[in-house]
């Protein structure tokens, strides 16, 4: 039987499996288990060892255990709601077996009087008596040797006993698929095949699954399939041949002269990589990834002016109106006067929108700044040659491919992100793009000094804030909650706002996620114009807006945030030439991990190092932006534990690209990981 026929079983509906009725099927559907394949990826998280028989006197309350006892008495109450009881004993004591919703005849059949029975179940203790309620295993066969019993994360309404029976039924029929990996890769996993790995990981006799070749084989498949999709998209984009953009860097040199600083080595390198792509015949699809405050925007704007010099239009999109305006005003300041620059946002007057649209159609507008509205169908460009997207680390691979198709074959794409991610994940997350990194901060930028303070030392913090305001500096005050909560002991923004405005009357404003976008924009713009001194906020101010006059940020309940998130928040201050300060406020009962996070923040301002440490402390799924990004959250693979597998997958992908190996052989793998249809759609 070939792979196609084999796959038919793997993608059978669970309702077709023996022992799965409509009720069980609906319960499994709630856990997003619809097919045999879904069942297989739901691995056991632990097991109960039922093979050891325990004396009654040695039972552990709350554990699933096995006893060998003699049945001595029944108690079947006449009242329906009361449970049936069976009294049993061994040489060390007595125990009650409690049955709800079981008939007398059934109980007498499985637990006959004066017979020795093997019973397994969860042990409880009630009124000085041991009990097992609704035993999971009962057998009259004294020679029966019970085995370890897998435990799965299940929905209410289905027991592990039933689920184990379903899995056992499925494992008997798993097909032996034709191998897709090379002999070199297979040797790394001791030649373990896919079918053997699946069966072994559902085998309760395998104690430590994550250290086995079986686990690593499947984890590698997961990593490799993700990277393969990105590789295929990258190859597809590289096949698009465009007209070269021809420029002599005349405008670039003019802008550099206007800047009051020299570009860092990283900025110069990144700009060179982007310029080379623009001049190339292959369409550019590049990520400009930089730490907070590293100067990505100036690099993007210089590359934009080169595209304008070559005769093409540029579109720069930002996630918020205030950030779009910030980029627009910077361009107005440094671009040559003859460059026609426009701003198109939700608040742009209708008559101005029509004028701007017309200027884009007839190519009289060289560059337009705006928000997502720029990609509406009614916005037409005469000669769009460059799209720049700021702060779009939340784009998934599918959205990025759609974006790369905009603007025609001659349109290059640059994405910018201030969210550093660990080296291990670069290929699997951004493998469809070329990457430029900016790690250095501008030479005139002082590193933010970070302090930690107990929340009971609030008077010291207020004193520090008063001093900052006396120096004409502004302050961010971050709180984790909007309103006070009885369930969570954390500081609310509203309470802190009411507290601070009494101390600093007329100098405090409040911003949070429940406000409309227009209200948020108004408050942030007022803060930028220095109309008040202290902005109390939730984490809505994370996105990279520049407030050069904000030089102090106070973060309440700092232990509740991840490292990367704290670093992003800290990056809101110290963006001018003055010294920036961050105060992390916490309660005295800190966990060990919280202490580690605060210690790391105080020791370094390196966002890339911080992202590595954050992943070690909190895991892949919790690193800033990953859960919300559409980035694949692996079921088995762990970037920390399985770093060798990520490196191996990257090496294999490069080998495939270099030797132009036909990726048809991997169709089975992609189908197993629900990516074959994605590849067909986007490639």
614 against 680, higher pLDDT? 614
The segment with the largest mean pLDDT, out of 260-264, 414-418, 457-461, is 457-461
Other C-beta atoms lying within 10 Å of the C-beta of residue 380:
11
Gyration radius of the chain's alpha carbons = 32
404-442 exposure pattern, b = at least 16 Cβ within 10 A, e = fewer: beebeebbbbbbbbbbbbbebbbbbbbbbbbbbbbbbbb
On the question of pLDDT at 511 being above 50, the answer is yes
Quick check: 508 and 496 in contact, CB under 8 A? no
Chain segment 278-323, per-residue pLDDT in tens: 999 998 989 898 888 888 999 999 999 999 999 999 999 888 888 8
The segment with the largest mean pLDDT, out of 85-89, 386-390, 587-591, is 85-89
Helix-then-strand count for the chain, H and E: 24, 21
Using alpha carbons, list the distances in angstroms from residue 279 to 20, 245, 266, 313, 405.
61, 5, 20, 15, 19
Other C-beta atoms lying within 10 Å of the C-beta of residue 108:
14
Mean per-residue pLDDT for 625-650? Answer: 71
Collapsing DSSP to helix, strand or coil, 178 comes out as coil
Per-residue model confidence (pLDDT) at position 630: 39
E-state strands within 147-204: 148-151
Provide the whole-model pTM.
0.74
Chain segment 13-68, per-residue pLDDT in tens: 988 888 888 888 888 888 888 999 888 888 887 777 777 889 999 999 988 889 99
Chain segment 340-366, per-residue pLDDT in tens: 999 988 788 888 888 999 999 999 999
Q: Which domains does the chain have, with CATH numbers?
A: 1-45+161-175 (no CATH), 51-146 (2.40.50.140), 180-239+642-683 (no CATH), 250-426 (3.40.50.300), 449-604 (3.40.50.300)
Chain segment 60-105, per-residue pLDDT in tens: 998 888 999 999 999 999 887 889 999 999 999 999 999 988 888 9
Other C-beta atoms lying within 10 Å of the C-beta of residue 217:
26
Quick check: 425 and 564 in contact, CB under 8 A? no
Quick check: 342 and 365 in contact, CB under 8 A? yes
Q: Which residue do the tokens 């079986």 mark?
A: 214
Q: How confident is the model at residue 210 (pLDDT cuts 50, 70, 90)?
A: low
Question: For the chain, what is the mean pLDDT?
Answer: 84
On the question of pLDDT at 487 being above 60, the answer is no
Residues present in the chain in total? 683
On the question of pLDDT at 626 being above 50, the answer is no
Chain segment 663-677, per-residue pLDDT in tens: 888 888 888 887 766
Closest CA to 97 of 44, 136, 62, 61: 136
The angle subtended at Cα 277 by Cα 273 and Cα 280, nearest 5°, is: 140
Chain segment 402-426, per-residue pLDDT in tens: 656 666 789 999 989 887 777 777 7
Q: How confident is the model at residue 625 (pLDDT cuts 50, 70, 90)?
A: very low
Per-residue model confidence (pLDDT) at position 485: 54
Per-residue model confidence (pLDDT) at position 633: 62
100 against 273, higher pLDDT? 273
Chain segment 141-172, per-residue pLDDT in tens: 765 556 677 777 777 778 777 888 888 888 98
On the question of pLDDT at 473 being above 80, the answer is yes
On the question of pLDDT at 543 being above 70, the answer is no
Mean per-residue pLDDT for 593-610? Answer: 86
Per-residue model confidence (pLDDT) at position 266: 94
């Amino acid at each position: 039987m070939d792979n196609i026929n084999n796959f038919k079983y793997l993608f059978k509906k669970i309702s077709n499996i023996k022992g799965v009725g409509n009720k069980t099927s609906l319960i499994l559907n709630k856990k997003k288990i619809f097919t045999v394949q879904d069942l297989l990826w739901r691995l056991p998280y632990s097991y109960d060892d039922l093979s050891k028989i325990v004396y009654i006197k040695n039972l552990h309350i709350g554990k699933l255990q096995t006893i060998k006892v003699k049945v001595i008495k029944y108690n079947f109450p006449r009242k329906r709601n009361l449970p049936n009881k069976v009294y049993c004993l061994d040489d060390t004591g007595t125990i009650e077996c409690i049955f709800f919703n079981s008939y007398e005849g059934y109980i007498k059949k499985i637990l006959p009087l004066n017979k020795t029975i093997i019973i397994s179940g969860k042990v409880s203790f009630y009124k000085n008596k041991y009990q097992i309620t609704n035993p999971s295993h009962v057998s009259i066969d004294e020679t029966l040797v019970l085995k370890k019993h897998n435990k799965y994360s299940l929905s209410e309404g289905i027991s592990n006993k039933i689920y184990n029976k379903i899995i056992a039924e499925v494992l008997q029929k798993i097909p032996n698929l034709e191998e897709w990996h090379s002999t070199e890769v297979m040797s790394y996993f001791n030649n373990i095949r896919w079918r053997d790995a699946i069966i072994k990981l559902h085998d309760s006799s395998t104690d430590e699954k994550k250290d086995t070749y079986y686990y690593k084989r499947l984890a590698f498949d997961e990593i490799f399939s993700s990277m393969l999709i990105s590789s295929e998209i990258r190859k597809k984009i590289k096949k698009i041949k465009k007209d070269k953009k021809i420029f002599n860097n005349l405008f670039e040199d003019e802008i550099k002269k206007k800047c009051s600083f020299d570009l860092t080595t990283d900025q110069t390198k990144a700009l060179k990589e982007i310029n080379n792509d623009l001049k190339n015949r292959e369409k550019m699809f590049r990520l400009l990834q930089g730490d907070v405050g590293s100067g990505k925007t100036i690099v993007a704007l210089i590359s934009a002016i080169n595209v304008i010099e070559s005769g093409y239009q540029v579109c720069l999109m930002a996630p918020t109106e205030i950030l779009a305006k910030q980029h627009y005003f910077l361009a107005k300041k440094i671009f040559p006067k003859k460059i026609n620059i426009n701003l198109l946002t939700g608040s742009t007057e209708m008559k101005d929108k029509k004028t701007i649209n017309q200027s884009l159609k007839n190519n009289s507008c060289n560059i337009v700044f705006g928000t997502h509205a720029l990609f509406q169908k009614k916005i037409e460009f005469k000669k769009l040659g460059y799209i720049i997207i700021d702060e779009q680390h939340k784009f998934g691979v599918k959205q990025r491919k759609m974006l790369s198709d905009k603007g025609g074959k001659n349109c290059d794409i640059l994405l910018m992100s201030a969210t550093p991610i660990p080296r291990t994940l670069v290929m699997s997350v951004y493998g469809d793009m070329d990457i430029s990194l900016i790690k250095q901060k501008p030479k005139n930028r002082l590193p933010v000094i970070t302090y930690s303070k107990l929340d009971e030392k609030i008077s010291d913090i207020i004193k520090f804030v008063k001093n900052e305001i006396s120096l004409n500096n502004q302050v961010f005050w971050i709180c984790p909650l909007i309103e006070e909560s009885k369930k969570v002991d954390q500081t609310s923004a509203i309470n802190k706002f009411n507290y601070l405005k009494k101390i600093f009357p007329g100098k405090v404003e409040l911003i949070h996620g429940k406000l409309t976008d227009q209200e948020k924009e108004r408050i942030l713009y007022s803060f930028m114009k220095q109309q008040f001194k202290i902005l109390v906020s939730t984490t809505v101010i994370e996105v990279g807006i520049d407030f050069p006059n904000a030089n102090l940020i106070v973060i309440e309940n700092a232990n509740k945030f991840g490292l990367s998130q704290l670093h992003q928040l800290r990056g809101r201050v110290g963006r001018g030439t003055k010294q920036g300060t961050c105060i992390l406020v916490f309660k005295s009962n800190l966990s060990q991990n919280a202490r580690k996070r605060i210690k790391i923040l105080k020791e370094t301002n390196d966002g890339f190092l911080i992202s590595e440490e954050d992943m070690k402390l909190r895991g892949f799924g919790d690193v800033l932006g990953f859960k919300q990004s559409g980035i694949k959250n692996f079921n088995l693979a762990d970037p920390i534990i399985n770093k060798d597998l990520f490196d191996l997958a990257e090496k294999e992908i490069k080998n495939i690209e270099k030797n132009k190996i036909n990726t048809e052989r991997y169709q089975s793998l992609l189908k197993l990981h629900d990516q074959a249809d994605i590849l067909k759609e986007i490639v």
